């Protein structure tokens, strides 16, 4: 409405127009409040999504560190297992030599005892 049309309206019509504009204003203010709430809610969701993404990155880093630690542990176990096998092989060889030496010594002593027994007879 332009100025001329407003001047032609009587007091009741102006009041009705004012009430209608006030209702429209209230509706727009309510719409603004509702939209602000939605925006705030979306920002919270966005922040939470960011927080969740950050948490996922941190968890991935923890898992990567755990994987690295587990791999290092397994490497250490493999190394210890290899050393244990080497030590076992070495001990087995030493024991075999000792058995051979003891067998040779026993045969020698047995031969000496038999020779001494034959000498006495």
* Residue 120 confidence (pLDDT): 67
Give the model's confidence band at 19: pLDDT under 50 very low, under 70 low, under 90 confident, else very high.
very high
User: How do residues 95-112 score in pLDDT, each as one tens digit?
Assistant: 999 999 999 999 999 998
| pTM listed for this prediction | 0.43
* Residue 75 confidence (pLDDT): 92
User: How do residues 45-56 score in pLDDT, each as one tens digit?
Assistant: 667 666 777 878
| Domain residue ranges in the chain | 3-120
* Residue 115 confidence (pLDDT): 87
Closest CA to 60 of 49, 71, 72, 68: 68
Q: Is the dihedral of CA 94, 99, 102, 103 positive or negative?
A: negative
- Spatial separation of the C-alpha atoms in residues 26 and 23, rounded to whole Å: 5
Average pLDDT of the residues of the chain: 86
């Amino acid at each position: 409405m332009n100025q001329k049309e407003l001047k032609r309206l009587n007091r009741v019509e102006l009041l009705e127009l004012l009430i209608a504009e006030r209702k429209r204003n209230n509706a727009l203010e309510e719409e603004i409040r509702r939209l602000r709430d939605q925006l705030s809610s979306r920002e919270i969701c966005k922040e939470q999504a960011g927080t969740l993404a950050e948490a996922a990155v941190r968890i991935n880093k923890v898992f990567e560190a755990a994987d690295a630690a587990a791999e290092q542990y397994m490497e250490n176990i493999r190394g210890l297992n290899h050393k244990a096998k080497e030590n076992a092989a070495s001990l087995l060889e030493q024991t075999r030599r000792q058995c051979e030496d003891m067998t040779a010594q026993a045969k020698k002593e047995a031969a000496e005892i038999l020779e001494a027994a034959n000498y006495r007879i």
